[in-house]
Amino acid sequence: MKIPEGIRNEALWRKRCRKIHARAKDLLEGRLGIVETARAIRLLAIWTRVESEPEFQLFGAIDRETRYLPVGAVRAYWMPEALAREDVFIGAAENLWRDRAIAAAETLVERYEWALKRMVTNG
């Protein structure tokens, strides 16, 4: 994969590309939900300058539609009754976006597989 224009720190860019692969794989293997994955991937897309690609646009749309929902670490600060109420909305959002998010994650895992390989340097 070619480094996008404007990226000045190649090592950091590669690290974030590995994180894209990892978060997509986390979704596919059930370690993260769709909403939480969308939040992580949206930020990684911005940092790696690929936010205009269709898979990243999808995760951006999911994040915009679900931004108000408590997922991840923030859940520790919510009352159990409020979480139970919001979990209904989280479940509905996950069901709505599931097929498209899974397809996008599969594409990203394949596209970013290269990032897991060690760089070989001459010299």
Q: How confident is the model at residue 123 (pLDDT cuts 50, 70, 90)?
A: very low
pLDDT band at 16 (very low <50, low <70, confident <90, very high): very high
Spatial CA neighbour of 23 closest among 43, 1, 3, 46: 43
pTM score of the predicted model: 0.90
> Model confidence over 34-91: pLDDT tens digits?
999 999 999 999 999 999 999 999 999 999 999 999 999 999 999 999 999 999 999 9
Q: How many Å apart are CA 103 and CA 49, to the nearest integer? A: 21
Higher per-residue pLDDT: 103 or 117:
103
Q: How confident is the model at residue 98 (pLDDT cuts 50, 70, 90)?
A: very high
Q: Which of 1, 21, 2, 15 shows the shortest CA–CA distance to 109? A: 21
